[in-house]
Amino acid sequence: MPAAKAALEQFFDFLRFGSVSTDPKYKEQVLECAAWVEKKLKAIGLEARQYETPGHPIVLARGPRKEGRPTVLIYGHYDVQPVDPVELWHRPPFNPCVENGLVTARGASDNKGQIFAHILGIEEALREKGDLPVNLIVLVEGEEEIGSPNLAPFLDSHREELACDVVVISDSGMVAPGWPTFTYGLRGIAAVEVTATGPDHDLHSGIFGGAVENPATVLARLIAGLHDKNLKVTLKGFYDGVRPLRGWERRAWKPLPLQDADLLRMTGAPALRGEKGFSSLERIWARPTAEVNGFGSGYQGEGTKTVLPSKALAKFTFRLVPDQDPKKILGIVKDYFRKNTPPSVKLDIVPGHCGGPYLVDPNAGFGVAAQKALGRLFPGKKPALIREGGSIPIVAQFKSILKVDTLLLGFCLPDCNAHSPNETFPVSHLDLGARLNRYLLEEIAAAS
């Protein structure tokens, strides 16, 4: 079998595991997927092992070690998001196929394709040279999509083993196909779930409606109160510490190929709308938001049912930018809900995962080496310097615990449908990512 074909077959094997980290139903497949990653890393010549955690296992591998060269830690995740709504997939999510050069499967882009491409790059270098240009650590975890709750303690207790000069992550995007992209910032996140309970059981809305307040209405009012007419978040103190966008960023982002028309096409939304005074990219990459991720109450079946629901539930995440502190934001959010809830309902507020934002100077440290590697990958093109709106909570912890910066060099496409039905990854990006891996390790070695 030609090498490329074998690589694709293996990629398909990787994608066949339903490694959904959030749903206990998938526990077995998560474990099998971790074992597969460990086996693959061993097969290419790395020393690899798994570490148990209170949640899903961490897979850790090392390459040949030599004195005097830098240590690079490549991070990725083998867990994936749930597939719902599954009826909207054109193909079963864990039965990968290729069509028009795109692999469709849950996790194809986020993050199996990207970490697998790195593994292919390492495999190729070891096969050709029997060595790598740097001392290498590969860390692949199974809980990124649930906020990496067990990875920070692991970093803390394995500081010496994980000591490195820089972290490399490909779990973000390119601004357009063929467009080299270097990400120097990520948003942070704070999650919270709110349940409003009114009557202790569902009521007849004719017999009681008007006298007993409806918890769905109360929760809807609380949600609506999160934004003002300019779509700014109303919470007191929410914007404290938000770093203003710098002039060079605004200028650099204006000509990028990801403009409103592209966003409209990719999302299918009838129009774009967001915080007054900022462009769409600025809103996504450099401004904080309050989002409702889920909202439910009352009768959802066919026809009508005159019910006054007992409960209403909403799930929120707040995307954060430097220098907002997720813990402080959770406090502000709790205060808002408590202060604005009438005595007619009881409110339960359960905080979820938290992750700090991240921002570095793209031209400092190994940033220059990263841009050189991208330049070799796409000769004659200048890398786009961007931030991303998504979150990789562990990045801030690599900085605070291991004291190292992270190079974010993602190569999924903006319309890859990450977290949505019909997630895709271009077949050609396996090779692209493998070459990026090789150039990057070479440039990092050359810069040290």
CA separation, residue 42 to residues 37, 74, 78 (Å): 9, 16, 16
393 binds ligand BES (CB under 6 A): yes
Nearest to ligand BES of 311, 353 (CB atom): 353
Q: Which amino acid is at 187?
A: R
Q: What is the 3-state secondary structure (H, E, C) of 22-91?
A: CCHHHHHHHHHHHHHHHHHHHHCCCEEEEECCCCCCEEEEECCCCCCCCEEEEEEECCECCCCCHHHCCC
> Which range of residues in 129-137, 166-174, 228-236, 274-282 is near ligand BES by CB under 6 A?
166-174
Cβ atoms 140, 59 nearer than 8 A: yes
User: Shortest distance, CB of residue 79 to ligand BES, whole angstroms?
Assistant: 9
Write down the least CB distance from residue 326 to Zn ion, Å: 18
Cα–Cα distances (Å) from 266 to 193, 233, 288, 423, in that order, read: 29, 26, 22, 13
Distance of CA 265 to the CA centre of its chain: 22
Q: Contacting Zn ion (CB under 5 A), which of 38, 79, 110, 442? A: 110
Q: Please choose, out of 3-11, 106-114, 339-347, 431-439, the segment that lies near Zn ion by the rule CB under 5 A.
A: 106-114
Of 288, 283, 289, 272, the C-alpha closest to 249 is: 283
Compare residues 148 and 341 and give the one whose CB is closer to Zn ion: 148
Q: Is residue 171 close enough to count as binding ligand BES by CB under 6 A?
A: yes
- For 43, list phi and psi in degrees, rounded to 5: -65, -30
Q: Which does 114 bind (CB under 5 to 8 A by kind): Zn ion, ligand BES, none?
A: none
Q: Which of 172, 214, 371, 417 binds ligand BES (CB under 6 A)?
A: 172
Q: How many residues contact ligand BES, by CB under 6 A? A: 16
- Residue 286 in the binding site for ligand BES (CB under 6 A): no
- Contact residue for ligand BES among 181, 371, 391, 437 (CB under 6 A): 391
423 touches Zn ion (CB under 5 A): no
Residue 147 binds which of Zn ion, ligand BES, none (CB < 5-8 A, kind-dependent): ligand BES
Query: Is residue 392 involved in binding ligand BES (CB under 6 A)?
Result: yes
Interface residue with ligand BES, options 326, 367, 390, 433 (CB under 6 A): 390
Footprint (CB under 6 A) of ligand BES, residues 11-70: none
Between 71 and 183, name the residue whose CB sits nearer to ligand BES.
Answer: 183
Indicate the Cα dihedral angle 221, 225, 231, 232, nearest 10°.
-160
Give SS3 for 112.
Answer: helix
Between 337 and 358, CB nearer to ligand BES: 358
CA 414, CA 367: separation in Å to the nearest integer?
22
Give the Cα separation of 137 and 273 in Å (integer). 43
Residue 340 preceded by cis peptide, ω within 30: no
By CB under 6 A, name the one of 110, 141, 143, 282 that touches ligand BES. Answer: 110
- Bridge partners (DSSP) of residue 141 are 77
Q: Compute the least distance from the CB of residue 147 to ligand BES, in Å.
A: 4
Q: Residue 299 has which token pair?
A: 């009768």
Stretch that binds ligand BES, among 35-43, 243-251, 333-341, 386-394 (CB under 6 A): 386-394
Beta bridge partners of 292: 316
Which CB atom, from 63 or from 173, has the smaller least distance to ligand BES? 173
Query: Could you tell which of Zn ion, ligand BES, none binds residue 423, using a CB distance below 5 to 8 A set by kind?
Result: none
Residue 392 interacts, among ligand BES, Zn ion, none and using kind-specific CB cut-offs from 5 to 8 Å, with ligand BES
Angle between the N-to-C axes of helices 428-447 and 3-16, in degrees from 0 to 180, rounded to the nearest 10:
100
Measure the CA–CA gap between 388 and 357, rounded to whole angstroms: 10
Binders of ligand BES among residues 122 to 161 (CB under 6 A) are 144-145, 147
Which residues have CB under 8 Å from 261's CB, separation 6+? none
CB of 180 to ligand BES, least distance (A): 16
Tokens 């000769």, residue located: 379
User: Under the rule (CB under 6 A), what is the footprint of ligand BES?
Assistant: 110-111, 144-145, 147, 171-173, 189, 353, 355, 388, 390-393
User: Under the rule (CB under 5 A), what is the footprint of Zn ion?
Assistant: 110
